[in-house]
Amino acid sequence: MQEILSAQADEGMVLAKDVETPEGRVLCGKGTVLTANLIARLHKMDIIYIVVEGHPVEVKGEKSLKEELEDVEKRFSRVKDTPPLMYLMKQLMKKLVESRSS
């Protein structure tokens, strides 16, 4: 899932989290497929951020999943013989992969 600006939203994207008003009222539920009319309505209601499934928007300077995983391996390279730290590395890598999929 990815948090994006509502201005970056395109038709066909799917919400990964409910869109709520500042008061907590749900405007659109998780799983809603975005349409042009719905995107326009979100803009009119001054909704700035939404969370969508997948990772549909490329952000300049953002690392790919592969690059992030390589960075984690590099950071843990000196402690390959320390099981608790290897466990931590695997959990971190798992979370990175999960955050990029849906």
Please state the domain extents for the chain: 2-52, 65-100
Q: What averages of pLDDT result for each successive group of 10 residues across the chain (102 residues)?
A: 88 94 89 95 92 81 87 95 96 88 58
pLDDT at 65: 85
pLDDT at 100: 72
Strand pairing report for 2-5 and 49-52: antiparallel
Whether domain 2-52 has CATH 3.90.105.10: yes
The span from the CA of 94 to the CA of 48, in Å, is 29
Token pair of 86 as six digits? 């290897």
Residues with Cβ within 8 Å of 57's Cβ and at least 6 positions away in sequence, in order, are 2, 4, 8
Half-sphere exposure in the Cβ direction for 18 (13 Å, CA): 8
pLDDT at 101: 66
